[in-house]
Structure 1
Amino acid sequence: MLNDILKNKSKVFLLILLVLLLVGIRAFENQLFYDPFLVYFERDYKTLPLPEFDSIRLFFGLLFRYALNTIVSLGVIYVLFKEIELVKFASILYVIFFLILIVAFYCIIYFYADQNNLMLFYVRRFLIQPILILLFIPGFYYQKLNK
């Protein structure tokens, strides 16, 4: 195991760097992105009304954060598998998931408002956190093993 790590020093370094970038995105979320739901979900959101927000700014804030997480996640996939086809496939999946999640996010906000805060919490979580990479890496690894 240690020999494998020593042989792939640059790969390990790049993976650590990319993970640190994901951590940096999370650490500086308050400064980088417009998202009034950050503070809202830190409190007792089940009893509080939704915060005031600018829909356009919120959309672009979510898009920017999702795009940053996606770019770094695609970098992780490339470093791990060295297959551009997997990166292309994953990028298509990321776009599809973004479209589905952003529509679901705004539908929940506008049609369910204060009724479904927990569902809003989880849909937003998929938009702002790089959770999809946790699904893609094992899936791609399993696919690679079965080739």
Structure 2
Amino acid sequence: MIKKLFNNKKSIFFIILFLFGLVSIRIFERKLFYDPFLHFFRTEYENQELPVFDGFKLFLNIVFRYSLNTLLSLGIIFSVFKEKVLLVFSSWLYLVFFIVLTMIFFGLLFFSEKPDYWMLFYVRRFLIQPLFLLLFLPAFFYQKLKNKEC
């Protein structure tokens, strides 16, 4: 499968293009997105109060960033595997994870008197970084290899 991928220059071009998009989102995150927690989590935040934030604006920006990361990640997954079924399955996974993680994130923010900052940090990280791509690609490769053995 990897040999096939490297023989297909068009796929490599799109993978590099999508990776460039993901890196660009990370590089320009301060300019593109409203996120008062970027600075907060880079400091000694354990004994500080949460920063003041606009919940609706934060939600819209998380949706926007997650959507961009998801579209680029799905592009990479499709470029690597070329299977529509895998693309649909991944899309559903991204949607379910987004709903669950968003509920946890905003539940911690709005319904906890003093939220667990570590939990908040990692839930937010899964929402704003393309970490699911790092989980899905090896899992799908493993599944492909396992199916070929049978």
- TM-score higher than 0.5 here? yes
43-52 vs 91-100, which deviates more? 43-52
Shift of 1:7: 2.3
Give the TM-score normalised by the residue count of structure 2.
0.91
Per-residue deviation at 1:111? Answer: 2.5
Counterpart amino acid of 2:48?
L
Higher mean displacement: 135-144 or 96-105: 135-144
Q: Where does residue 124 of structure 1 map in the other structure?
A: 124
In 2 relative to 1, CA 6–140 (structure 1 residues): closer, same or farther, beyond 3 Å? Answer: closer
Task: Please list, as runs of the form range in 1=range in 2, the aligned pairs for 1:46-57 lying within 5 A after superposition.
Answer: 46-57=46-57
Gaps of 5+ in 1: none
What residue number does 2:36 align with?
36
Count residues with an aligned counterpart: 145
Q: Partner amino acid for 2:89?
A: F
**2:26 corresponding residue in structure 1:** 26
Instruction: Quote the RMSD (CA, aligned, Å).
Output: 1.5
Please state whether the residue corresponding to 1:146 is helix, strand or coil. Answer: helix
Letter in 1 for 2:94: Y
| Contact 1:50–1:113 under 8 Å retained in 2 | no
What secondary structure is seen at the aligned counterpart in 2 of 1:43? Answer: coil
Q: 2:91 maps to what in 1?
A: 91
CA distance in 2, matches of 1:43, 1:49: 12
| Helix, strand or coil at the partner of 2:61 | helix
Alpha-carbon distance, 1:109 to partner: 1.0
Identity between Structure 1 and Structure 2 (%): 48
**By how many angstroms is 1:90 displaced?**
0.3
Please name the residue that 2:11 is paired with.
Answer: 11
Q: Which amino acid aligns with 1:62?
A: I
**Match of 1:81?**
81
- Counterpart of 1:72? 72
Please report how far the alpha carbon of residue 114 of structure 1 lies from its aligned counterpart in structure 2 after TM superposition: 3.1
Shift in Å, 1:6? 5.9
Q: State TM-score, norm by structure 1.
A: 0.93
